[in-house]
Chain A
Amino acid sequence: MSKQEFTLSIYTENHVGLINKIATMFTRRKISIHSLNTSPSEIDNIYRFTLVVIESAEVVQNLVKQIEKLVDVFKVFCNTNDEIIWQQMALYKVPTQTIMKDIKVERVLREFGAKAVVIREDYTIFEVTGQDDEINKFLNFLHNYNLKEFVKSARIAIIRANEGVHKKVIEMDANDPTKDPINNEFLSKKTMVFNY
């Protein structure tokens, strides 16, 4: 089966060490994680991991089920690129003198959808938020102007069809015999880690 990019959105408890438990799910199978981001989610105290892997659908499906088995994981959504809106952010540092001397900065920023975050006498920092091709295009351009530093963030993604985890979870539960919707009534209660 052919490999493609999948974006996994993993809703979890906010526990120490969970990132390692999730990461070992991939490393054990010798699957490399192309991008990993952790952030709070729309629900207090529930975290959202966003991961990108390049794998076959079959491998990813099995992987998703194994990740969902982790006790501290609520739900894993697995999406192809056409099912999500995704962005990454990149920062570029260049010597101010060089960039001022050779080009019309405003025009370049418009052309690449970039903006200046810091402008100092010695250096300037630009930012591009977008997808790989947009970020790389500007990167290639700045290579000609003595680029000093470059960094790119992990991917963050919003699922197009997803109206928040609550509705999606319940909707999926209706189709998926493996889940009991009633369990999720606790999902928005932030303090009840050990519910009785």
Chain B
Amino acid sequence: MNSAQTIVPKKVSANIQTNGSVAVIDALMSENVTTVFGYPGGAIMPIYDALYDYIDKINHILVRHEQGAIHAAQGFARSSGEVGVVFATSGPGATNLVTGLADAQIDSTPVVCITGQVFAHLLGTDAFQETDVINITSPVTKWNYQVTDANEISDVLAKAFYIAKSGRPGPVLIDITKNAQLQMFDYKGYSPCIHVRSYRPKPIVRETYIYEAAQLINSAKKPFVIFGQGVILGKAEQEFLDFLEKSGIPAAWTIMGMSAVPTDHPLCVGMLGMHGNLAPNYMTNQCDVLIAIGMRFDDRVTGRLDKYAKQAKVIHLDIDPAEIDKNVKTTVAVWGDCKETLPLLTKHIEKRTHKAWLEEFRKLNQKEQDKIITTELNPATDELTMGEVIKLLNELTNGEAITVTDVGQHQMVACRYSHQKNTRSNITSGGLGTMGFAIPAAIGAKFGAPHREVIAIMGDGGAQMNIQELGTIMQFKPNVKIVILNNQFLGMVRQWQELFHEKRYSFTDITSPDFVMLAQAYGINGKKVTQRSNLKDTLNEMLQSNESYLVEVMVGKQDNVFPMVPQGKGVAEIVLGVDEL
């Protein structure tokens, strides 16, 4: 029987003889999957064959490398709040996913990867394109499972989607052997999974902890809120805003939490972390109660732990019990989904303002403004700065765009200076720091939020790491804007070499192709900017374009990102320039 003739309508309940591949496609349709990023190959051909009957319902984006597929799925998940789906074949197809899986795991991004695998009878025989993908991916997935019998496919995929998106989200990989894809069986239809007996997606909320936390907040003189991606993942932006505005507490975001509330909100005092703002880093060691919401005290946020907020009582709201007390000891732990815990907390706290306390943040921010920001955004030299590009983008997009960044200096600059009015506007590789993330993630972000402007910002190093995805843009025409901030160096490493390795620039001097010509080879228009006088018009032209567009901006070769919390130092030891090191 030709699988192309066995079209199973959605949600079949009667027994129908069909093959495993059709069950896979039906599972995706039942989960309302509209977009799949993938790359075919021998061991996944039956699934692609089944997909061929549904190309009007499922938009399959053919990427140019499997790493591009998973980063695109991550971008899709991050911009849409839905699960990103990836198809890849066995062997190299599957191993090419590993970086993206690790990225999605550490940044809690819901992704379901379906990989083909050799026939079950060939497992362990070193067959062509066979690799032990389950064991390779175990440490970088929330869950993975190998299917060798078509009868398992529906239940396993239902479980995969449930696990990927519930609780603290994460990547799931399902490896399906080719015999299971081809196997004819009695298809019983698809039922979504709502419970796995050994898995508890989120803790139940107990009022005693809420009450203790509220008491502590009400008694605080200098409370400080730090928030992470948990607010966005929990879709609790409004609940968080209500909490913030009633409590009147100054709040700072982690790089992953950025855009959960508008960046210009009067209570927002900037970004935490190694290259975050002066005030939030410094004031972490001045506050009396530190309220951490949906964040995990990453070492880039805390700096040296034994010098981190030692004076403060810590309230930690998190959905993942393993995060409580992992790095920073809490005074009051509030286990639970912040969508549920925040409204309860808001109910119990007193309405306050903290004017004088907030003013202390403002004073420090002014100091940073004078010493760093003004010159970065309005440079007096001929050399262009990364910051002024971001500033112009803010003006031209009115802070409405999704900013997708790669990893390095430009990432820190973009996150420091971007204005973002809407949630899910900052898509970056936070925990893993994956260079090459931006182009594919921007493609995915555009498919996840087609009505929003998507701007990928990257350096000249990261741009080349997944440059092949320009081919995906060429073929599928997502309207993404690409801005390469070219300093002709692997800038962040060069900065560290300058500051901590006596300017021994070991292999950070990198040459690049003509990015504009390269884009043109892929049918993408572009311009190179070397002078300030052309910058605004070119960026404007890029944004006005109805198609993808690439702008390469030549920026200062040896500019540094400051402030900086040097590695091994406490957050209060943040420095504003080379002279303070």
Contact = CB atoms under 8 A, between A and B. Distances in A.
Closest 6 CB pairs of A and B: A65-B322, A178-B321, A186-B197, A178-B203, A71-B143, A195-B195
Interface of B: 134-135, 138-139, 142-143, 146, 155, 158-159, 163, 191, 193-200, 203-206, 209, 320-322, 325-326, 333, 335
B138 A17 contact: yes
Given A62-B322, A178-B321, A195 B197 contact: yes
Contacts of B191: 196
A17 B203 contact: no
A177 B206 contact: yes
A192 B195 CA distance: 10
Interface string A5-49: 000000011001100110010001000000000000000000000
B196 A195 contact: yes
A74 B322 contact: no
23 contacts: A17-B138, A17-B146, A20-B135, A62-B322, A68-B322, A71-B198, A71-B199, A72-B199, A177-B206, A178-B200, A178-B335, A179-B200, A179-B204, A180-B200, A180-B203, A180-B204, A183-B195, A187-B197, A194-B193, A195-B197, A196-B191, A196-B194, A196-B195
A69 interface: yes
A162 interface: no
Interface string A61-84: 110011011011110000000000
B197 A62 contact: no
A177 B139 contact: no
Contacts of B139: 24, 28
Nearest to A18: B138
Given A24-B138, A71-B143, A177-B203, A183 B197 contact: yes
Contacts, number: 75
Contacts of A66: 322
B188 to A, nearest CB: 12
A192 B326 contact: no
Given A17-B134, A21-B138, A73 B198 contact: yes
B305 to A, nearest CB: 13
A177 B209 contact: yes
Given A61-B325, A62-B326, A177-B205, 20 more contacts: A13-B198, A17-B146, A20-B135, A28-B139, A65-B321, A68-B322, A69-B322, A71-B163, A71-B196, A71-B199, A177-B203, A177-B204, A177-B206, A178-B203, A179-B200, A183-B200, A186-B195, A186-B197, A194-B193, A195-B196
A80 to B, nearest CB: 19
A193 interface: yes
Interface in A50-100: 61-62, 65-66, 68-69, 71-74
Nearest to B208: A177
A189 B158 CA distance: 20
B142 A71 contact: yes
Contacts of B203: 177-180
Nearest to B321: A178
Contacts of B196: 71, 194-195
A194 B138 contact: no
B573 to A, nearest CB: 26
A61 B135 CA distance: 25
Nearest to A64: B322
Nearest to A16: B146
A71 B158 CA distance: 14
A192 B197 CA distance: 8
A177 B335 contact: yes
A184 B82 CA distance: 29
A72 B204 contact: no
Nearest to A11: B198
A60 to B, nearest CB: 13
Contacts of B163: 71
Interface in A138-181: 177-180
A73 B320 CA distance: 15
A166 to B, nearest CB: 13
Contacts of B209: 177
A21 B142 CA distance: 11
A62 to B, nearest CB: 6
A71 B581 CA distance: 46
With a 10 A CB-CB cut-off, give which of A17, A74, A178, A195 has the most chain B CB atoms. Answer: A178
A71 B145 CA distance: 11
Contacts of B333: 177
B156 to A, nearest CB: 8
A187 to B, nearest CB: 7
Contacts of B134: 17
A1 to B, nearest CB: 13
Contacts of B325: 61-62
A196 B158 CA distance: 11
Nearest to A13: B198
B135 A17 contact: yes
Q: Which of A20, A71, A74, A193 has the most CB of B within 10 A?
A: A71
A74 B198 CA distance: 5
Contacts of A68: 321-322
Nearest to B319: A178
Contacts of A69: 320, 322
A189 B209 CA distance: 33
Contact of B197 (A65, A178, A193): A193
Contacts of B204: 177, 179-180
B249 to A, nearest CB: 24
A30 to B, nearest CB: 14
A110 to B, nearest CB: 46
B431 to A, nearest CB: 15
B302 to A, nearest CB: 16
Which of A12, A177, A193 neighbours the largest number of chain B CB atoms within 10 Å of its CB?
Answer: A177
Contacts of A183: 195, 197, 200
A178 B155 CA distance: 27
B153 to A, nearest CB: 12
B463 to A, nearest CB: 32
Contacts of B146: 16-17
A86 to B, nearest CB: 25
B198 A72 contact: yes
A55 to B, nearest CB: 15
B383 to A, nearest CB: 44
